[in-house]
Amino acid sequence: MVKQAVVKLGQALALIIAGIITVWLLVASWQVKPQVGIGSLALSGGVVILLGLLIGGGSYWLSRRQTSWLVASFIGLTLLKFPLVAWLKIAPVGDFKVYHALAVFNAHGLTWHQMLTHGLIGASIASPTTLNVANLFSFSTALGGTNFFISQLINISCTLLDMLLLYWLVSRWLSRRLGIMASLIFYCIPSYWLYSTLLNGAEPLLITCLLVMMLALTRALKPLPTASPNDHWFNLIIAGGATLVANMIQPIMISWLVILALFTVIVILDLGRSYHFQYRHVGLYVVTTAVVLIATTGLSSWLYGFQVTPPTANVSYDVTSGAQTSANQRSQTALVQADPAIAALLATSPTGQLGPVISHRMQSLAREDYGFHWSLVNLRSVQQRRTWKRTQPFWAGLAHIYWQLMLIATLISVVIGGWLWWRPSALNHYFLYATLLLDGLTLTALLIGAQGRSRAILYLPIIFMITCGTAGITQLWSRQRRV
């Protein structure tokens, strides 16, 4: 009785916090909504309706076809990105320039220590994540050449792989049709579509690592009937490796381990001792990975041949400053200049009161125009920049409407999860996982960055919530028909 009370309390708290966060994101998104004319807004709304038809109709049609049709469709959707790459020529600036330049230097044979002594690394030493991302891109640069298109190709390939991973993951959890729906929702996110197509940001690599990790853990806990007795160890090793790489890209994985530990404890209390053996492996994964992540700074210093700043120092500095800066803007003066609004808030707020700062960070996190903004800033030609800027009202309206609909669907899913909360349903465990993920990653995103592109890690729990809500509607509808 006590165990069930703890389980229900944990599920209820996760749902309530997820609902509060979703409403907060909705309000913050409205506070920073773009100024778009009626014509552009109508055009954007029409395109969103077409995307909705693509997601609904495509998931229904592809769920009735063989897997080869599904893979071919995903590849075809991915190929649609290349005409835009051919048209818009990118000359990276800021973080994107640092990633590309360091990757090229490393691919040409310069060691990281040599780059440091020659002054090629400079202020980016303050962020080991910058070095890690550049290091990952250096492998593809060494194999494919120094053209920026190679980095774009890597991120485009990551989005294709993400669609397949989302399909496999949600299909294992719920159903094939919902897996296809999740992949199509992810593909159609306007800002991320632009960002992952034109730029060499770290977020596509991060999302791929997260999905690989989740799928490997799912296969370790719920093996396929054809799996060998030792397959779970292989999947745990893959999950651990993906977790380490994800933490090198963005130091957030300690939060993920806490989320997984809470989820595991609640599920064990709910299901009893019959599942203790499987979740013992999760405990081993959590403890081992936590030890490795704590030693990340030492590993980074050994990898690059010099002492790097601990990632936790950057996170703490960002929290106290309230600003997210580029790799080449780490000085105190640059931090103040990076976000004058936050600097003004800090000047007028009493010491220790970060409420206004957090509110401003949530607004920055909820801003959905990052895809167009960063593509515009990084265009090589002034003429192309002028031409591309004319499309801003359309892209801003499209991104805002799509993001608002995702948040509204998430809020509806929270209500459905609350409706199923007091009923015996296997969906409660999936709702618990999705809500814990949304709660933990949102709070983490508020701590590590104030840019819209930092929200990319929130797309996964939001999509999981939407798929769980859709499954819940189907389940409730089936019950009503039986009655």
Tokens of 230: 């030792």
Q: How far apart (Å, rounded) are the C-alpha atoms in residues 393 and 198?
A: 19
Tokens of 342: 């936050």
pLDDT at 339: 39
**Which of 34-43, 102-111, 331-340 has the weakest average pLDDT?**
331-340
In the predicted structure, residue 326 carries a pLDDT above the cut 50:
no
pLDDT at 321: 39
In the predicted structure, residue 343 carries a pLDDT above the cut 50:
no
Q: How far apart (Å, rounded) are the C-alpha atoms in residues 245 and 238?
A: 11
3-state helix, strand, coil in the chain (%, to 5): 80, 0, 20
Tokens of 281: 């492996």
Confidence of residue 125 (pLDDT cuts 50, 70, 90): low
- DSSP letters spanning 430-457: HHHHHHHHHHHHHHHHHHH--SGGGGGG
φ, ψ at 347 (rounded to 5°): -70, -30
**Which of 4-13, 43-52, 390-399, 432-441 has the weakest average pLDDT?**
4-13
State the chain's mean pLDDT as an integer: 82
**Which of 141-155, 281-295, 304-318 has the weakest average pLDDT?**
304-318
Asked if 417 and 468 touch (Cβ cutoff 8 Å), the reply is yes
pLDDT at 53: 94
Confidence of residue 356 (pLDDT cuts 50, 70, 90): low
Mean pLDDT value of segment 121-147? 79
pLDDT, tens digit, for every residue of 250-259? 888 888 899 9
Q: Between helices 392-421 and 427-448, what is the axis angle to 10°?
A: 140
Torsion angle of alpha carbons 308, 309, 314, 317, nearest 10°? -150
pLDDT at 224: 77
pLDDT, tens digit, for every residue of 75-122? 999 999 999 999 999 988 888 888 888 888 888 888 887 888 877 776
φ, ψ at 90 (rounded to 5°): -100, 135
Q: How far apart (Å, rounded) are the C-alpha atoms in residues 445 and 324?
A: 11
Question: Among 207, 185, 192, 210, which Cα is nearest to 409's?
Answer: 185
How many CB atoms are located within 10 Å of the residue 28 CB? Answer: 20
Mean pLDDT value of segment 282-287? 86
C-alpha neighbours within 13 Å on the C-beta side of residue 320:
7
pLDDT at 333: 39
Mean pLDDT value of segment 20-27? 91
What is the separation, in whole angstroms, between the first and last Cα of the chain? 29
SS3 90: strand
How many CB atoms are located within 10 Å of the residue 45 CB? Answer: 13
**Which of 168-182, 274-288, 306-320, 325-339 has the weakest average pLDDT?**
325-339
Asked if 209 and 246 touch (Cβ cutoff 8 Å), the reply is yes
- Full-model pTM: 0.87
In the predicted structure, residue 331 carries a pLDDT above the cut 50:
no
pLDDT at 477: 77
pLDDT at 227: 75
pLDDT at 23: 93
Q: How far apart (Å, rounded) are the C-alpha atoms in residues 214 and 235?
A: 10
Question: Among 260, 262, 158, 257, which Cα is nearest to 209's?
Answer: 158
Distance of CA 220 to the CA centre of its chain: 23
Torsion angle of alpha carbons 176, 178, 184, 187, nearest 10°? -100
pLDDT, tens digit, for every residue of 262-274? 888 888 887 765 5
Asked if 328 and 124 touch (Cβ cutoff 8 Å), the reply is yes
Question: Among 258, 184, 270, 211, which Cα is nearest to 441's?
Answer: 258
- 441 contact partners, CB below 8 Å, separation of at least 6: 252, 255, 256, 259, 457, 458, 460, 461
Measured at the CA of 275, the angle between CA 179 and CA 271, to 5 degrees, comes to 80
Q: How far apart (Å, rounded) are the C-alpha atoms in residues 215 and 235?
A: 9
In the predicted structure, residue 322 carries a pLDDT above the cut 50:
no
Question: Among 44, 134, 97, which Cα is nearest to 369's?
Answer: 44
pLDDT, tens digit, for every residue of 196-208? 999 988 899 999 9
pLDDT at 329: 43
pLDDT, tens digit, for every residue of 366-394? 777 888 888 999 998 888 899 999 998 99
Distance of CA 150 to the CA centre of its chain: 22
